[in-house]
A and B are shown apart, each in its own frame.
Chain A
Amino acid sequence: MNLLLRGFEDFGQYLILLRRSFTGLLRFRLYWQLWTYESIQIGRDSLLLVAIISFFVGAVTTVQTAYQIVSPFIPKSTIGAIVSTSAILELAPTITSLVLAGRVGSSIASQIGSMRVSEQIDALEVMGINSATYLLLPRLFGAVIFFPILVIYACFIVHLGGIIAGAFTGAVNPTQFAIGARSFYEDFQIVFMIIKAVTFGFIISTVSAYQGYYVKGGALEVGNASTRAVVISCLMILAADYVLAQLLL
């Protein structure tokens, strides 16, 4: 019962922080600089990690799909269809976001948490600056804008991994893979992927900022908040993934 009440209290506090982050805006130039910095942190610095993970996800999915398709009556292009559809609908947005929850989410929570325990947030408030707006808004917009870009990039790399692995193992050649991928493609799948990416970006940035913003204590608590930010973000991503699939497909 206490856990449930605490959950409601946390959720209420999270909504209050969200509302506060859209009030008391200062001059645009200040947020532009912060947004640029956050976008580099979220976007550019994640490119290599996303590329490596996406490549292997694509390769493994292709090899495992080929392993499961044993009937000679099923054309090899089916492998491309399955891998491509899975990449667009699930693998690129969800796996990328789960990875970014670890990299970006923990970074946001620990940055803001460190600012809390070292009184930097108090210093902002004493200057008359709304710390919620200053700290949350640039990160939120950085995530919401750059997550879709990263997910599109991840989707491309998953396909690339699939094509290379298929050709390397002889499971499916690039032409068959492309024919299969195109046979089940619909434009809405891309829209769905982008909706997912925006939602997951929103979840990761706001949940992590919330965890960091309300840290009490010292370095140990900042570490705990960072871990909580990753765990809660991952759980919420999975829940949102199901809800979006149920609602939109």
Chain B
Amino acid sequence: MGHLRIENISKWFGKTQVLHNISSSFIPGKVNMIIGPSGCGKTVLLKCIVGLIQPEEGKVYFDNLDFFRASPEARRNVLRNLGMLFQSSALFDSMTVGENVAFPLRVFTEQSEKEIQDRVAYCLERVGLAGAQSKYPAELSGGMKRRVGLARAIALNPRYLFCDEPNSGLDPLTARRIDALIQELTTDFHTTTVVVTHDLKSMIEMGHQILFLHQGKAEWQGTKQALLGSLEALPANLQAFIKAAGVTQIHN
């Protein structure tokens, strides 16, 4: 299980500060949620953690390795232990589903073609898409694309799994299936998972630790039990967010 910690992350786009000194320690082997309203900086924070965006200030530690100050080789090693599911799935559209899942295996391992095909079949089976190897991403539904994205993310047995809005744009039933799948993969693969979402139902479904962002600031963090405990004890913005999502009944 990977240990992940962030310290005082701040990010500006031009003169606008989008993240304000955000610090958190994520629970290894569990699903950690970053929640908040649209535009609060959740995805920017996630992209800062995985190095797609360089924050102006702050540090990210993967197993006590300072990610931004590490050597290129050390950074590459971290990235090879990391799987990510993008909001748009980010499947390579010129490749089939099988080739997409096989891609990291072909690039980073010395496995034979048979071993790669076996691993692809296993990963696709885990996400409920056995036999879909020859399909192209354009032939898949939104939910299937997310599942292929997850299969690709777990192909190299990652220690960290990052999911950016994994169920946005999906119908409620498919969204819950994706949530259950992320939960299941986290448990089975012992990954430290970070999920960005504004869907409180997802948070209730699979969250273990919650980080609530509002206007780029970490307004509240704690366990799901603490969040579900008493609405009055939460900051006003989080209360408003929960009420707006229509899930206040969870507190009753």
Contact = CB atoms under 8 A, between A and B. Distances in A.
Interface of A: 24, 26-27, 30, 114-115, 118-120, 122-123, 125-129
B107 A129 contact: yes
Interface string B59-92: 0000000000000100111011010101110111
Given A127-B79, A127-B80, A120 B90 contact: yes
A118 B51 CA distance: 18
Interface size class of B (residues with CB under 8 A): 20 to 34
A15 B195 CA distance: 36
A126 B52 contact: yes
Contacts of B50: 126
Contact of A119 (B86, B104, B162): B86
Contacts of B90: 118-120, 122-123
B104 A127 contact: yes
Contact of A118 (B52, B76, B93, B106): B93
Contacts of A125: 51-52
Contacts of B72: 24
Contacts of B104: 127
Given A115-B92, A120-B90, A126-B84, 13 more contacts: A24-B72, A26-B107, A30-B106, A118-B93, A119-B88, A122-B47, A122-B90, A123-B92, A126-B51, A127-B79, A127-B80, A127-B104, A128-B79
B107 A30 contact: yes
B219 to A, nearest CB: 27
Interface in B192-234: none
Contacts of B107: 26-27, 30, 127, 129
Listed residue (B72, B107, B162) with the most chain A CB atoms within 10 angstroms of its CB: B107
Contacts of A114: 93
Interface in B140-184: 162
A128 B87 contact: no
Contacts of A115: 92
A125 B107 CA distance: 13
B93 A120 contact: yes
Contacts of A118: 88, 90, 93
Contacts of B82: 126
Nearest to A126: B84
Contacts of B87: 119
Nearest to A117: B88
- What 3 A-B pairs have minimum CB-CB distances, sorted nearest first? A128-B79, A119-B90, A123-B90
Nearest to A111: B94
Contacts of B84: 123, 126
A123 B91 CA distance: 8
A243 B76 CA distance: 42
B92 A128 contact: no
A128 B75 contact: yes
A161 to B, nearest CB: 36
Listed residue (A115, A120, A128, A129) with the most chain B CB atoms within 10 angstroms of its CB: A128
A126 B90 CA distance: 11
A129 B50 CA distance: 13
A24 B52 CA distance: 17
Interface string B104-144: 10111000000000000000000000000000000000000
B143 to A, nearest CB: 17
A132 to B, nearest CB: 14
A118 B91 CA distance: 8
Contacts of A27: 107
Contacts of A127: 79-80, 103-104, 107-108
